[in-house]
Amino acid sequence: YKVTGEAMGMFGALTGDTNPLHVDANFAKEHGFIERITRSKIMGMMLGEKLSVRKIYGETLAELGKTRNDIVAVDADLSCSTMTCLFQEAFPDRFFNAGIAEQDAICTAAGLATCGKTAFVSTFAMFATGRAYDQIRNTVAYSNLNVKIVATHAGVTVGEDGASHQMLEDIGLMRAIPN
């Protein structure tokens, strides 16, 4: 993995910047993200350690939760796979498990966003983009709500879970939505 590319993408998602290639250095320094990436992640890369992007996501979300009370996490019964369990452990009152109901997870995140929360909803790519496409398009995007959809296990990376959990068209679906 290229840490800088992942970090830049995360900054875009976490700060609400519509261009994920823009990095707000002041925000990053304020929340210690640059230091964390520099010390632990890059050193691991130098030593040949493989990094888990979803673990970095879970750790970063939990870390941001310490300084931003507006951040909430919604998961579709996969928190140990998406690593939002790290946020849940730290902030159980700001974590919502929608169960195996991805459409509901998206709409719950949308509702929380209408109340001023920055909602992160996480599940596998197949379910986040395929099963909940209507809710993303008509509820989140149409209203331009502050919902961050973090889809893990994209493509054919889910292995033994099989074809029903694999998604190749997720990027195509989301790129067609204007915002």
User: Which residues 6+ apart lie within 8 Å of 26 measured at CB?
Assistant: none
Among residues 63, 89, 102, 169, which one is catalytic?
102
Q: Judge whether 141 and 177 are in contact, CB under 8 Å.
A: yes
**Nearest Cα to 109, choosing from 78, 70, 82?**
70
State phi, psi for 143 to the nearest 5 degrees: -90, -5
Kindly write down the DSSP assignment for every residue of 119-178, as one continuous string.
EEEEEEHIIIIIITHHHIIIIIITTT--EEEEEES-BTTTGGG-GGG-BSSHHHHHHTS-
Residue 6 falls in the annotated catalytic set: no
Residue type present at position 73: A
Which CA distances in Å does 167 have to 101, 145, 164?
A: 17, 25, 8
Residues labelled as active-site residues: 102
